[in-house]
Amino acid sequence: LMTDKCQTTWEPTEEQIDNIIIPAMKGIAQQCASYINELHCPPECVAVMLRDIADAFEMETAKDKNDCSCF
């Protein structure tokens, strides 16, 4: 889906990885584990939820192709 205009890729800094990205991923994983326990559902159910969320972000990005500053 990327156009030639959007070929530049964004990369986080080490500080962003250590202070934002890793803690966020751990927090999301803990929240998902909590949902699995609360709902008494298999992990695959939460995986579907996460894929739906990712898809929503990707669809939003596809609509905003005029601004590729995050890529």
pLDDT digit string (tens) for 23-53?
A: 999 999 999 999 999 999 999 999 999 999 9
Mark 23-50 as b/e (b = at least 16 C-beta within 10 Å): eeeeeeeeebeeeeeeeeeeeeebeeee
Q: What is the pTM of this model?
A: 0.68
Average confidence score pLDDT of the chain: 85
Q: How confident is the model at residue 60 (pLDDT cuts 50, 70, 90)?
A: confident
